[in-house]
Structure 1
Amino acid sequence: MEAAAPTPDRPHIKFWPKRLPRELVVPETSLWFNLEVSARRYPRKPAALFFGRELTFLELHRQAEALAGWLQQRGVRRGDRVLVYLQNCPQYMVAFYAVLRADAVVVPVNPMNRAEEFKHYISDPEAKVAICSADLAAHVEAANAELPESQRLEHLVVTRYADAMPEQFDTPAEAPPAAMEAWLRSDPPLPAWATRWADALAERRVPGPATAQADDLAVMPYTSGTTGLPKGCMHTHRTIMHNTIGGGQWGHGSAETVTLGVVPMFHITGMQYCLLSPIYSGATVVIMPRWDRELAGQWISRYKVTHWTCIPTMIIDLLGSPNMARFDLSSLRYLSGGGAAMPQAVAERLHQQYGLLFAEGYGLTETAAPSHANPPERPKLQCLGMPIFGVDARVVDPVTLEELPPGEVGEILIHGPMVFKGYWRQPEATQAAFVDIDGKRFFRSGDLGRMDEDGYFFLTDRLKRMINASGFKVWPAEVEALLYQHPDVQEACIIASRDAYRGESVKAVIVLKQHAKGKTSEEQIVAWARENMAAYKYPRSVEFVDALPKSGSGKVMWRLLQDQENQRVAAAA
């Protein structure tokens, strides 16, 4: 397809990489079929490397089929939702594709979520089966027990990370730090109703014919928002497939690619770049279950990693390693990421010392990861990039929806083949998330940005109330709802606090109940939150106040508190 000529509303065409088509022709097949093809093409090639142990494409296919048969034998039917609650590991790959092979829907759950948070992921999608790691089984058990019997899970498959690891490491470079190894090899007691991973596969169940079609639901990741509990984003095989293929093409991906898989696979970015796209292209993923800069440096060097999609804080951490001079980064060809802006000084060091250009991108759970990306041939710093294959992105006045000229700040709207179909059983939220312009259905990102004269997009602020902590999105309404369960909390408001390393951190402004004043400390609130919330989500600091500022209608004026916090930080600086 020939590239269109630049127009005032599409100036980025002038800078579009000549090697790439403007739009993609996406297969009318399921995501499962991608694995089937790669297993036939590259049966003995490693799909994954985990502490030196290989999982070949053929073995991945075999295990996924066996687990799919087990799921169907336990009653999983077409369109049913199955929870996958794991850190990055080969079993995550197997579980993901097993659910797809069973014609079911993957519901990825953040493994940092605790029992109280996990209940919602059982009840809302009406899941009856979950797949988790041994260290998280207790959370599943506790969450399940607190739900009415009619809403509970019926089956649980549990794996140890050590199930996919070698008994001994060939070299010290493959070995994790002692604390990480103890966690990976842990074998806590399991709920009586759980089935061990090895036992499920050992049944060697054969699934029925794969019948999923391109427009069937495939994946339902959850995203939070300004109000209420997290909402399921309905993605079909087709919407996910678009970025699965496009992400590889954009970043020079191929069967020769070796990817460092450290961005969490439960997250839409990790799902695309560390799981789906590599499986499609036949690439190898070097899987890291948790970030560790020394391990990352050693594995990039040992396995000749070519592609790394990450969060800028990871690169900052790696460059700060005292062993940096020993690491060989010469194999890296493509470095990309998002979630936070790459500092200019760090980007310049990457380019000067290693010849690497960092290509930032932009996307949301609702857009199956990227809707915008910087071309690796011509990236701009602190920039979202240009609209990718088939995307029509506009900057509009948030109220009038009138399109704004380059340089003016407005809300970013996105129309494209990767946009989700709506929120699970949330018709009002779905309707509010979209707007029709020129006969097209645009998703309202809730992000404020501008487009420059070259057609590159830049983020300037948020319409939605959200905190970005090291690339993890924290929605204040969700944290506030959890804080209200503390027996000493009368009122709570969550705001962002500047953090030199994480970018932003979570701060709680709290009014204590009368009986707790002078008795409950900030440290006790933080400790309680740490026990009941995901690690990235709990407040790192707490401020007690006598009352929260409120508007005439009784709404908490969080923006005023945020402005006061910003002024305090500025004064201290």
Structure 2
Amino acid sequence: MLSKHFAHWPPLLPKTLTVPCTPIDDNLFVAARRYPDKPAVIYYGGVLTYREITDQVERVAGFLAERLKVKQGDRVAIYMQNSPQFVVAYYAILRIGAVVVPINPMNKTDELAFFVQDCQVEAAFVGQELASQALPLLKRGSLKHLIMASYSEYANPERSPSTSWPKEVQLPPQSFTEQGVTSWREVLSARLKPEERQVRADDLAVLPYTSGTTGKPKGCIHSHRTVQANIFGAQTWASLTSDTVSLSCLPFFHVTGMVHSMHAPILNGGTMVIMTRWNRELAAEWIEQYRCTHWINISTMLVDFLAQPTLTAERLDSLLFIGGGGASLPKAVGEKLYELTHLRYVEGYGLTETMSHSHFNPPGRPKLQCMGIPSFDVDARIIDVESGRELGAGEEGELVVHGPQVFQGYWGRPEETEKSFITIGGKRFFRTGDIAQYDEEGYFFIVDRLKRMINVSGFKVWPTEVESILYQHPAIQQVCVVGMPDGRSGEAVKAYIILRDQVAGGADKEAIIEWARERMAAYKCPKSIEFVSTLPMTSTGKILWRVLQEKEFKNS
């Protein structure tokens, strides 16, 4: 195990952290007993105390168990945006020993159908603005029940002008008459209570999905123990306390937002200021108004935030910690942040398979455009891709990690699970697929990707998944999807397309993009299309996607 980085370990922190054997939802109930009347959530002027949030968790859990007959180990989806209902639903699912399946609300019906069928979801919580995407799946397969949530029920226009709310939050509660659909209000009104259950630390807790080289998403099996490892790790590393106020704007369906913006503040009885849609002006207003102390974001979000002309040091003087990941933060932006706040941006690195972070920069000695150093009890190494031989400082190879937050495997895919791990010295390491190196001080840096993946504002896009959808377009004969540089999102999706002979010269790029937008999440949709007559190929007919990828970044 490498130890160079211990010389720069944050002072007063232990180098090892014992992971609790208690389930994740226990964190909430402990916090509620300690701070019953303290605000747990602030949401567009609305406030939810710890006493209120646990009462609602009990009611929702009771409805799931008693009315919908959800059993321990059953998978329950959450298909909604950041909201108090997301938090309540998540902890209610865990409360009865069921498994949370968080689904990106940008996904369309066909994408949603895959997740539902892959892990046999029978019940789902759905934001009402997404009803048109979810309703077609009712009774079509395993999905039998939908609980529809209206975000506006938790907002308060008397304390927060509704003109600043996103349209999803302004939408009043709608009525649904379809069989199998229940409103959030009805669920709470039933006042049902769940029975006690026995959940072990190694029981399955959450099944977040990540895409793979085949283009099909894979569910990452995370137990209460693996998630707790990073909840407690995040809390300790960032010095969270009961008086922490977190600006929670990263999506909760994603492991980074899930751990750092939801679970970690709850562990300490802190307050979450929840944002459904990113709004830089509102973010600045809320940091000032609610005296936010911690803000985990993605670097592209911070770049947008700092571009505001009205920011002053006084408006941000409550902040104690700012960090995140998704993409490297430009040095000039990091310096601008320091000028305003006297805080250095703390970058981290992780994957869905590691339940967010495996690496973090030391808050007192961070390096920009750097993954950081291995987190608590993480053994990270660099190996030769072909031989598996361990490499030294300054040598480029594949990053492999062993630690308490590493997932147990891919749901229903034992062969892919087996290929994703390697044993070194009796330890089982996860192969990240990222090419990295570490310096003489033990700090790690990303160099390249072994896997074919595009990083759009921190969201991972697998070209093969996008290609499989584009091939359904009647005008497309052949397609190759690659990443291209983008000033706002870091990278964006570009499609090189060979048209069918009968439509060549008559196809419209914008029409194809609009067609794609209706069938896939917005971040996966091609931002640019280039019509070509040929694609670079090997002698065996395999498309040389790296040639096109390198062309895009060489010309940037």
- Normalised to the residue count of structure 2, the TM-score between the two structures is 0.97
- Residue 180 of structure 1: aligned partner: 166
Runs of 4+ in structure 1 deviating by more than 4 angstroms, as ranges, are 176-179, 186-189
Structure 1 unmatched runs, 5+? 1-6
1:154 maps onto 2:154 in alignment = no
Q: Distance in 1 between matches of 2:27 and 2:375?
A: 22
The aligned amino acid for 1:84 is: I
- Residue 436 of structure 1: aligned partner: 423
CA contact (8 A) 1:490 1:512 kept: yes
Q: Which moved more, 1:426-435 or 1:551-560?
A: 551-560
Residue 282 and residue 178 in structure 1: after superposition, are their counterparts in 2 closer, same or farther (change >3 A)? Answer: closer
- Residue 245 of structure 1: aligned partner: 232
CA contact (8 A) 2:151 2:168 kept: no
Q: Distance in 1 between matches of 2:8 and 2:115?
A: 43
Q: Distance in 1 between matches of 2:30 and 2:520?
A: 40
How far is the alpha carbon of 1:53 from its aligned partner?
Answer: 1.2
How far is the alpha carbon of 1:481 from its aligned partner?
Answer: 1.2
- Residue 106 of structure 2: aligned partner: 112
CA contact (8 A) 2:44 2:155 kept: yes
Of 169, 173, 177, the match for 2:158: 169
Q: Distance in 2 between matches of 1:321 and 1:177?
A: 19
How far is the alpha carbon of 1:363 from its aligned partner?
Answer: 0.4
The aligned amino acid for 1:192 is: E
Residue 224 and residue 93 in structure 1: after superposition, are their counterparts in 2 closer, same or farther (change >3 A)? Answer: same
SS at the partner of 1:515?
A: coil
CA contact (8 A) 2:205 2:224 kept: yes
1:68 maps onto 2:54 in alignment = no
Q: Distance in 1 between matches of 2:258 and 2:268?
A: 14
Q: Distance in 1 between matches of 2:539 and 2:474?
A: 28
1:215 maps onto 2:202 in alignment = yes
Of 360, 370, 378, the match for 2:347: 360
CA contact (8 A) 2:293 2:321 kept: yes
The aligned amino acid for 1:218 is: A
CA contact (8 A) 1:46 1:56 kept: yes
- Residue 259 of structure 2: aligned partner: 272
- Normalised to the residue count of structure 1, the TM-score between the two structures is 0.94
CA contact (8 A) 2:215 2:463 kept: no
Deviations 1:511-542 (A, max 9, x none): 22233222221111111111111111100011
CA contact (8 A) 1:176 1:295 kept: no
SS at the partner of 1:532?
A: coil
The 5 A counterparts of 1:489-508 are: 489-508=476-495
The aligned amino acid for 2:148 is: V
Q: Which moved more, 1:515-524 or 1:252-261?
A: 515-524
How far is the alpha carbon of 1:250 from its aligned partner?
Answer: 0.1
SS at the partner of 2:197?
A: coil
The 5 A counterparts of 1:337-356 are: 337-356=324-343
The aligned amino acid for 1:560 is: V
SS at the partner of 2:477?
A: strand
Q: How many percent identity over aligned positions?
A: 47
Q: Distance in 1 between matches of 2:491 and 2:174?
A: 35
Residue 252 and residue 179 in structure 1: after superposition, are their counterparts in 2 closer, same or farther (change >3 A)? Answer: closer
- Residue 6 of structure 2: aligned partner: 13
- Residue 89 of structure 2: aligned partner: 95
Deviations 1:110-165 (A, max 9, x none): 011111211101100100001010000110113447xxx4x231000001110111
Q: Distance in 1 between matches of 2:380 and 2:410?
A: 21
SS at the partner of 1:411?
A: strand
The 5 A counterparts of 1:246-395 are: 246-325=233-312, 328-395=315-382
The aligned amino acid for 2:58 is: E
Q: Distance in 1 between matches of 2:310 and 2:7?
A: 42
- Residue 414 of structure 1: aligned partner: 401
Q: Which moved more, 1:301-310 or 1:399-408?
A: 399-408
Number of equivalenced pairs = 554
Q: Distance in 1 between matches of 2:366 and 2:553?
A: 31
CA contact (8 A) 1:141 1:191 kept: no
1:47 maps onto 2:37 in alignment = no
How far is the alpha carbon of 1:184 from its aligned partner?
Answer: 3.3
Of 498, 502, 512, the match for 1:515: 502
1:463 maps onto 2:456 in alignment = no
The aligned amino acid for 1:42 is: Y
Q: Distance in 2 between matches of 1:200 and 1:188?
A: 15
CA contact (8 A) 2:153 2:173 kept: no
Q: Distance in 2 between matches of 1:552 and 1:258?
A: 58
Q: Which moved more, 1:515-524 or 1:307-316?
A: 515-524
How far is the alpha carbon of 1:392 from its aligned partner?
Answer: 0.2
CA contact (8 A) 1:160 1:184 kept: no
- Residue 77 of structure 1: aligned partner: 71
CA contact (8 A) 2:209 2:219 kept: yes
Residue 228 and residue 354 in structure 1: after superposition, are their counterparts in 2 closer, same or farther (change >3 A)? Answer: closer
The aligned amino acid for 1:281 is: N
Structure 2 unmatched runs, 5+? none
SS at the partner of 1:123?
A: helix
Q: Distance in 2 between matches of 1:555 and 1:72?
A: 51
Of 9, 18, 28, the match for 1:25: 18
Q: Distance in 2 between matches of 1:327 and 1:320?
A: 17
Deviations 1:339-362 (A, max 9, x none): 010110111111123201110000
